[in-house]
Amino acid sequence: MSNTSHTWITRAETSADIPAVHAINAAAFDTPAEADLVDALRADVAWIDGLSVVTTDQDGKLVGHALLTRCHIGETPALCLAPVAVLPEYQKTGAGSVAIRAALDAAKERGERFVTVLGHPEYYPRFGFSRASAYGIGISIDVPDEAMMALALDAGHPLPSGTVRYAAPFGI
Q: Cα(15)–Cα(124) distance, rounded to whole angstroms?
A: 28
Q: Do the Cβ atoms of 17 and 66 come closer than 8 Å?
A: no
Packing angle between helix 18-28 and helix 33-42, nearest 10 degrees?
Answer: 150
Q: Let me know if 24 is exposed, middle or buried by CB neighbors in 10 A (0-12, 13-18, 19+).
A: buried
Is residue 3 pLDDT above 50, yes or no? no
Q: How far apart are the first and last CA of the chain?
A: 36
Helix (H, G, I), strand (E, B) or coil at 107: helix
Answer whether 83's CB lies under 8 Å from 37's CB. yes
What does the alpha-carbon distance between residue 62 and residue 14 come to, in Å, rounded to a whole number? Answer: 12
Judged against a pLDDT cut of 70, whether residue 133 lies above it is answered with: yes
- Cβ atoms of 137 and 92 closer than 8 Å: no
Looking at the chain, the whole-number percentage of residues with pLDDT higher than 70 is 97
pTM across the whole model: 0.95
**What's residue 124's pLDDT?**
97
Which pLDDT score is estimated for 6?
83
- What confidence tens digit (pLDDT) does each residue in 67-109 have? 999 999 999 999 999 999 999 999 999 999 999 999 999 999 9
- pLDDT bin (cut points 50, 70, 90) of residue 5 is low
Question: Going by C-beta distance under 8 Å and a sequence separation of 6 or more, which residues neighbour residue 165?
Answer: 71, 72, 73
- Mean pLDDT across the stretch 53-69? 97
Mean pLDDT of all residues in 33-56? 97
